[in-house]
Structure 1
């Protein structure tokens, strides 16, 4: 005899109830909008192995390469490192509005330009796209990301000039544009950074022209301009007792100024000026510095190397190939 349908319904409901006690319903923390966007990003990259953990049946807060905010559970970090990720950066990355950190690093198969959609990420504090094969210009729209404290676009194939508008970023601690194919001059506006003065890394490009006089107004902790085609008086960048500059690398440029007239900041620990057209003599003030590195080779310096401080702790390679520089560790002056 068949049981009435009402009794069967009660039995089914009872079984479902006890089943949920043993296997509770899956409760996902990840925001469904964020999850949908991440799956779109995965498809745009043609479902690469590095994103294999991005399984729609798993809470996306547990996926590899992403992290969620502890209270809001919105995706606040996307970091993809060291894998053969193919294609271009998908525009969908701009649809993760709570991102604070976005990083694509050591991805040689990543190509194309930096997508304008990144300008939508108004909560972004750190943007790293480095050691890739992205190309095109350094986008002007990056100046819209007012919360950025760290911008790293080093080791890419970026071309064109440096946007002057980057000086409008009020919270920037470090700007890395080194090891690209950038041309043109350093923007005058880099002597007018709003708010903080970032450490500036512009080395290994094809920058040319005179060092902007405006840079003398800035107090850079670190400034690296080596291996460009820059000209003029670069001493204004680090000269002055009131500055707190620590690391300066201006090597392998076309710089020409009188080193004997430079007043070094007491905080300076590393100075590299090799392969330029710098004249004059080494100031006695160098003996008062706690230098950890010094290289003034391949210039047009003359006179005796001052005795004292750390100057004699460096070998002759720090001083050789100058016009008439002498004294320890070089040959004695006649």
Structure 2
């Protein structure tokens, strides 16, 4: 009798647990299929068919669910060398996904699959420090809720997608350390919300479009590319740009005519073909590098930067360089 009663209790507990499972059945099946497409890595050993992917204590690694709807809202997988595969197209079958982070997965390869275009609720998309390649897809411009886009440190090639300008909520655009070529699209002058734009360490070229002067960037990094011409539209005393890095390009303009944003704390224009005098307020910039240009004139008295900030210019003088004659 005791044995029968115990078995009944066990049976009822299993029935109760199955009814109380939070994880959406279809999304759970999709996650298990994604695990299979990832070649069942040990990183995802907690993804088991007999456990609840949304359980607050027994949650699956890297998975977060909405507290009310229990739909999967976040996938965050990072720092694993054994996860070796392409990005599973089935990720596109998680329609409530708001955050997708694939970070520091050096054996993740292949392009961004077209099926990810269905993730129209994405707010944060990070595919960074992987070996993902191919072009940056234009369908990213469909993610109207996207706030942060980080595709840095990969093997992306081709041109910058003009469609990113459709994402009016973007505050962070990180596309550095890839193999991107061509100019910055004119449409990037439509960005709002004081974005951070990082395009460094690519093979981008051409002139900076005048339209970018309409954007009040929080920070901008165009360094280590092949840009040329006059980027002075990026400056302005009323802008809120705290960091400007234009170093290691072919820029040529009179920097003495620009007005530095009052809050700029970092300015690097080194290794270009920039000429003229130092702009007003240069001594107030905390981190400064104007070396390897063709600048002339006297460094402001009381300036506290070291010689490396001004080294190898045409005729700059005054402390920390030799005094003016």
Establish whether TM, by shorter chain, passes 0.5: yes
1:304-325 deviation per Cα after TM superposition (whole angstroms, max 9, x unaligned): 10124xxx22110100100000
For residue 50 of structure 2, the aligned residue among 57, 64, 88 is 57
User: Could you tell me which of 232, 239, 256 is aligned with 2:252?
Assistant: 256
Residue of structure 1 in register with 2:281 after alignment = 285
> Moved runs in structure 1, 4+ residues, more than 4 A?
14-24
Are positions 1:35 and 2:24 aligned together?
A: no
In structure 2, the residue matched to 1:4 is none
| Secondary structure, aligned partner of 1:215 | helix
C-alpha distance 131-18 of structure 1, shift in aligned 2 (>3 A)? closer
User: d(CA) in 1 for partners of 2:113 and 2:13?
Assistant: 47
TM-score by length of 1: 0.91
Deviation at 1:24, TM superposition (A): 6.8
TM-score normalised according to structure 2 size: 0.94
CA drift of 1:235 comes to 1.6
Kindly provide the CA deviation profile for residues 76-117 of structure 1, in whole angstroms up to 9, marking residues without a partner as x: 000110112111001100001111100111111111000111
C-alpha contact (below 8 Å) 2:259/2:280 kept by paired residues: no
Show the counterpart of 1:90: 88
In the alignment, is the contact (CA less than 8 A) between 1:175 and 1:198 conserved in 2?
yes
Query: Residue 187 of structure 1 corresponds to which residue in structure 2?
Result: 185
Deviation of residue 197 (structure 1)?
A: 3.9
Structure 1 position 19, deviation (Å) = 4.2
- Find the aligned partners of 1:103 and 1:60 in 2 and give their Cα distance: 18
Q: Give me the CA root mean square deviation.
A: 1.7
Distance in 2 of aligned mates of 1:243 and 1:22: 63
TM-superposed CA distance for 1:202, in Å, is 0.2
Matches within 5 A, 1:1-334: 17-19=8-10, 25-26=16-17, 27-61=20-54, 62-83=59-80, 84-193=82-191, 195-238=192-235, 240-287=236-283, 289=284, 291-308=285-302, 312-334=303-325
Which has the higher Rg, Structure 1 or Structure 2? 1
Deviations 1:177-199 (A, max 9, x none): 00000000011111122x43421
Contact 1:159–1:181, Cα closer than 8 Å, also in 2: yes
Contact 1:283–1:306 (Cα < 8 Å) also in 2: no
**How many pairs are equivalent?**
317
Q: Identify if the C-alpha distance between structure 1 residues 19 and 37 changes in structure 2 by more than 3 Å, giving closer, same or farther.
A: closer
Between the aligned partners of 1:21 and 1:185, the Cα distance in structure 2 is: 65
1:128-157 C-alpha deviation (Å, 9 max, x unpaired): 000000111010000001000000000000
Aligned equivalents of 1:138 and 1:19: distance in 2? 53
Separation in structure 1 between the aligned mates of residue 11 and residue 35 of structure 2, nearest angstrom? 32
